[in-house]
Chain A
Amino acid sequence: MSLDVQLALLLWGTLVGLDLVSVPQMMIARPLVAATVAGLILGDVETGLRLGVLFELFQLDILPVGAVRYPEYGPASVAAVSAGHLLVGPISLGVGAVVGLFVGMVGGMAIHAMRRRTARAIQRSAPALEAGDTEALIRVHVGGIVRDGARAALVTASGLALAWAARIVLPGALTPRGAGVLAAAATGAGIAAGTAGALRLVGYGPNLRWFAVGLTGGAIAAWFR
């Protein structure tokens, strides 16, 4: 993989990481979008779509309300596609999932650490903020965005490094059977996470009927496809 492509992935992962919370929340951080564009950059849209759908299922398990802490699957999806692209068959999903899940966890921890640093920066500027100092207000706010951008870049860079290592080690260490087990486990976990997340959103009220209608429709469409 050329340096240009790596830099493009790093830039894309950074934008994706910024989009999750800071700027502009237009959902390029959704795994389906992040992974598909990463696939486009790598010239392997199919792997991007497959890993995007897989991590979209994991994303369904997350409801980002209040101060809840959650994994970050945007840059993780970029790293996952970097790990799984051009690998043939289920191993592509398996290797991508290993990298993506780990980077998702690291990304979530990095967000928590960054928020604590931002809180400290605000504490330091509290007297100026209480006095209505606009410069301090803008400085603190822009500082938070820059901090998040640096965090997203670091997470993406770590993810791409891990993806590079995983592409070297895992395909050689696993037989086709082992690759199948890995892909089945990752996909099974994704389906379980997506279903549990959907059920939590749906609840036991009247929406459950609509969920059942959707499931039936999806199953019929899948059957005829």
Chain B
Amino acid sequence: MKRRFGTALLRLFTLQGSWNYERMIGVGTGVAEEPLLRDLPGGPGGPAYRSAVARGAQFFNAHPYLAGLAVGAAARAEHDGAPGDQIERLRTALCGPLGSVGDRLVWAGWLPLTAGLAVAGVALGLGSAAVVAFLVVYNLGHVALRWWALRQGWQHGLKVVVALQAPWLQRAVALAGPGMALGAGLSLPLAAVWLAGAFEPWARVALAACAGVGLLALRVLPRQVSGLRLGLGLVAVALVAGWVWR
């Protein structure tokens, strides 16, 4: 079983390989769950196995790092002989909480915090060491979270919600917000000053004007203006201005 657990964990790293607008990560979830289903009565190819594989590949969406909870829990429930509709309800019920907790913990917490610290490190002169440190530290959390999720799901089965109430997880989610805010706040002035280091004084004034106008546009017209549109618009205007101003 250990080997199949390892295979399932490895497959979780490819979870979003077949991401699409209909089943979202459903197919990837089924692929990750499949090794854990091979011991079902009748073995691979048996009716229990085939029904479980079909259920595993249905629509599913959650944060990719925490999806292992659903994968492990569904596989355990299949082994425990839970009715198919109950397993489907479990998967549906887990979508919201796993998405919400994962987004707050990782996308809006751990990732911007570590990336912000890496940017600050580069701006403070640490160079590529800051980038290497980011990759190592971020992925320690990333891999540990994937492993923990799969293990907890497999351990708790239909009662997997217990895992989401783990004190360390609640604490981590609570700390993720302030940590992210601190890291992002720290990185912004350092990055701005470092990037503008080689600019002429007049170009720094132009930079400040562009940043001010851009921030205003992004805050006032969030639906119409995105970072990409702002960037493309400003560089297009600058190209024309730079070509004319000789």
Contact = CB atoms under 8 A, between A and B. Distances in A.
Interface stretch (B86-94, B105-113, B162-170): B105-113
Nearest to A100: B231
A222 B235 contact: no
Given A45-B128, A214-B184, A184 B231 contact: no
A186 B238 contact: yes
A221 to B, nearest CB: 6
Contact of B210 (A23, A58, A185, A199): A185
Contacts, number: 372
Contacts of B64: 25
Contact of A119 (B21, B184, B186, B206): B21
Interface in B110-133: 111-112, 115-116, 118-120, 122-125, 127-128, 131
A175 B178 CA distance: 45
Interface string B15-30: 0111111111001101
Contact of B20 (A54, A119, A187): A119
Nearest to A144: B18
Contacts of A50: 195
A155 interface: no
Interface residues of A, number: 110
A186 B131 contact: no
A21 B103 CA distance: 15
B191 interface: yes
A44 to B, nearest CB: 12
A215 interface: yes
A36 B129 CA distance: 10
A185 B181 contact: no
A182 B239 contact: yes
A199 B184 CA distance: 9
B154 interface: no
A62 interface: yes
B207 interface: yes
B147 interface: no
B228 A182 contact: no
14 contacts: A25-B65, A27-B135, A133-B53, A137-B34, A183-B199, A184-B207, A187-B192, A190-B195, A193-B227, A196-B218, A206-B178, A210-B178, A218-B189, A221-B190
